[in-house]
């Protein structure tokens, strides 16, 4: 537990990122965990006395305890942001986390469905009861527009313009973007909106509702998608982010326009989007190996 002055500083910072920077509750919770780790490692040493060698030692200690390079990079980023705030608003002399980098670890490529698997998942019949109509609309919209789970859950009816084929999405950091919505998703969402009217209960504001007329939870969406994928014989763990990854990969394969994919995904940095070029290259490599006469393996005579 963070205690004493450290608790006050951490609370002030978390209030700052929540109210002034308007970061999401999940991001604030992640920052709180990371800062708690820093204070625990510091033990009795005050935060304003930590030096760069302390931070490097903490990083090495966490790495030795099994933290991946990716986890450490995220944690160091949180620590740097915390100290940047402390130097600006609380008179700290320096940021001991500046210049400290996490050990590199290989980046796993995101899992995607093949176009055939995506079609199998979405074109199969889900039934005509209200919950099946809702599920069809959720999954089509998620894949059609590359939405994050939180973006799908938080979407409201007024965020959609079915006549224009667009949706207004509020992503990370409260940033808003406009994304296109495909014809199949427009049709599916239109069918759901007809059902939604009779289900909605007081206090419900989300586009997608539970069977009890309340805003649907993220966990429910993820479980419904997983169950549907199993019924369709898709033998991988299909969760909403797999639909987002599949959207990005399939769009990039078809268009080759990395900047457009970046904009539709709401990525702040194109380096985040570039991971999908590796998936696209894998696809091209398979096509090459199968088709190019100089790439084919010699058949045994």
Catalytic residues: 148, 172, 241, 244, 267, 276
Around Cβ 223, how many Cβ atoms within 10 Å?
Answer: 12
Buried residues in 87-98 as b, exposed as e (16+ CB within 10 A): eeeeebeebbbe
Contact call for residues 58 and 11 (beta carbons, < 8 A):
no
Beta-bridge partners for 179: 167
Contact call for residues 155 and 167 (beta carbons, < 8 A):
yes
Q: Is 272 helix (H, G, I), strand (E, B) or coil?
A: helix
Report residue 28 as tokens.
């604030």
DSSP 8-state code for residue 43:
T
The phi and psi torsions of 86 (rounded to 5 degrees) equal: -65, -40
Q: How far apart are CA 66 and CA 93, in angstroms?
A: 32
Q: How far apart are CA 94 and CA 148, in angstroms?
A: 36
């Amino acid at each position: 537990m963070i205690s004493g002055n450290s608790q006050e500083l951490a609370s002030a910072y978390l209030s700052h990122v929540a109210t002034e920077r308007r970061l999401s509750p999940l991001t604030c919770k992640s920052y709180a965990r990371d800062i708690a780790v820093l204070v625990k490692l510091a033990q009795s040493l005050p935060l304003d006395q930590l030096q760069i060698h302390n931070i490097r030692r903490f990083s090495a200690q966490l790495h030795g305890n099994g933290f991946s390079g990716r986890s450490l990079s995220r944690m160091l980023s949180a620590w740097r942001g915390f100290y940047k705030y402390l130097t600006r608003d609380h008179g700290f002399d320096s940021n001991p986390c500046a210049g400290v980098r996490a050990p590199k670890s290989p980046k796993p490529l995101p899992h995607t469905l093949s176009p055939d698997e995506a079609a199998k998942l979405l074109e199969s019949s889900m039934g005509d009861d209200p919950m099946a109509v809702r599920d069809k609309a959720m999954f089509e919209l998620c894949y059609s527009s590359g939405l994050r789970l939180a973006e799908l859950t938080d979407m409201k009816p007024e965020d959609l313009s079915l006549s224009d084929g667009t949706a207004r999405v509020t992503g990370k950091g409260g940033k808003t973007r406009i994304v296109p919505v495909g014809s199949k998703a427009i049709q599916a969402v239109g069918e759901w909106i007809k059902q939604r009217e009779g289900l909605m209960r007081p206090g419900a504001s989300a586009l997608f509702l539970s069977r009890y007329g309340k805003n649907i939870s993220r966990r429910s969406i993820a479980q419904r998608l997983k169950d549907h994928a199993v019924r369709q014989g898709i033998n991988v763990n299909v969760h909403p982010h797999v639909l987002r990854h599949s959207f990005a990969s399939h769009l990039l394969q078809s268009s080759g326009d990395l900047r457009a994919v970046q904009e539709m995904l709401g990525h702040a940095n194109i380096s985040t989007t570039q991971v999908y070029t590796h998936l696209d290259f894998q696809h091209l490599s398979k096509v090459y190996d199968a088709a190019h006469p100089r790439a084919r393996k010699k058949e045994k005579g």
